[in-house]
Structure 1
Amino acid sequence: MQQPEGFIQFGDEHLVCRLKKSLYGLKQSLRQWYKRFNFYMIQIGYRRCEYDCCVYVKNLDDGSFIFLLLYVDDMLLAAKYMHDVIDLKALLSLEFDMKDLEAAKKILGMKIHRDRGSRKLWLSQQGYVEKVFDRFGMSKAKPVSTPLANHFKLSIEQCPKTDKEIEEMAKVPYTMRWYVLVLI
């Protein structure tokens, strides 16, 4: 490492600079941002989920919950009452530069559809499923209720046993995954 251009200390060219603040684009910058975000969320009374470190939850006074789901630098907020979401957005915007994208229409490749009148929510992964079909050359396949006849039973005996069978099955990636799925 060398001293950056314009910041060279003459007589101390052999020394390097010490970074006091994480810079955007460095490998550690995301970690530093997450540490700061996590500290702030805990400070304002949220608990981090023990099973997923990017899910925060707070039990509100009325017995309901508010959830914050974090994915890199995107957030999804969910609560029973909209005023709780608005309050959390206000708190977060005091601490972080934010852009409010209003109601989520898509998250992590899942399409979100709401019917607020009947208080229902649907999640769809149609785009992902279509990509998988395209990848395995099945985009023109006809839909059926089950890919196998009802009387057909899969067993471990049907798995490839010889090296030749295993090599042959490796050429058909979705078949190998099917066997893995059956054996688990």
Structure 2
Amino acid sequence: MTRSDYDNAVFYRHHPNGDISILFSHVDDLTLISNETSRIRMLKDKIGAQVEYTDGGEINWLLGVEIKRDRTKHTIMMRQFSYLETILTRYGFKDARPTNTPMDPHLRLSIEQCPTTNDEIAEMSK
């Protein structure tokens, strides 16, 4: 597998038939992804030959992100509802109610409306 140039904890392999396998590592957790189940099994076998591990099955959570897969619709949903609840509670907004946007959502803005003078820029920064 090749280490990602962008994240040292991500490894990938492009297979000759176009399949791809990706391995994410975080502390002592590994996440294996591939568009071919047999490739995941092969990776698990190779890892198992080196170290003992526990297979958590299909992924439901990854680094605080809930993951739900609907195979019939071919969709994957990712959300951070638990994190949002924690932040709202921490900062006293747990019981806050949503409000409408204070601006007309259909209003079209253009570059011509941007401030051009120092006074206009100062006014906008208030």
Are 2:33 and 1:65 equivalent residues in the alignment? no
**Unpaired runs of at least 5, structure 1:** 1-45, 159-184
Q: What is the alpha-carbon distance in structure 2 between the residues aligned to residue 82 and residue 122 of structure 1?
A: 20
Consecutive unaligned residues of structure 2, counting only runs of 5 or more, are 105-122
Residue 138 of structure 1 is matched in structure 2 by 93
1:145–1:117 Cα change, 3 Å = farther
Deviation at 1:89, TM superposition (A): 0.6
1:112 aligns with 2:67: yes
Residue 77 of structure 1 pairs with residue 77 of structure 2: no
Q: Which of the two has higher C-alpha Rg?
A: 1
Match of 1:55 in 2: 10
- 3-state SS, counterpart of residue 87 of structure 1: helix
State TM-score, norm by structure 1.
0.55
Q: 1:156 to 1:130 in 2, by over 3 A?
A: farther
Deviation at 1:119, TM superposition (A): 1.7
Q: Tell me how large the CA RMSD over aligned residues is.
A: 1.7
SS in 2 for 1:90: helix
Q: Structure 1 segments of 4 or more deviating over 3 A?
A: none
What aligned pairs does 1:157-168 form with structure 2 within 5 A after superposition?
Answer: 157-158=125-126
Pairing 1:1-184 to 2, within 5 Å after superposition: 46-144=1-99, 146=101, 149-150=102-103, 157-158=125-126
The CA deviation at 1:118 is 2.0
Q: How many residues align?
A: 108
Report the Cα distance in structure 1 between the residues aligned to 2:124 and 2:40, rounded to whole angstroms.
50
Write the letter of the residue equivalent to 2:18: G
Between 1 and 2, higher relative CO (CA 8 Å, sep ≥ 6) is seen in: 2
* C-alpha distance in 2 between matches for 1:79 and 1:145: 42
State the alpha-carbon separation in 2 of the partners of residues 144 and 91 from structure 1.
Answer: 53
d(CA) in 1 for partners of 2:70 and 2:41? 20
Cα distance, 1:52 vs. partner?
0.7
Q: Report % sequence identity.
A: 25
Aligned-partner SS, 1:139: coil
Higher strand share: 2
SS of the aligned residue for 2:24 comes to strand
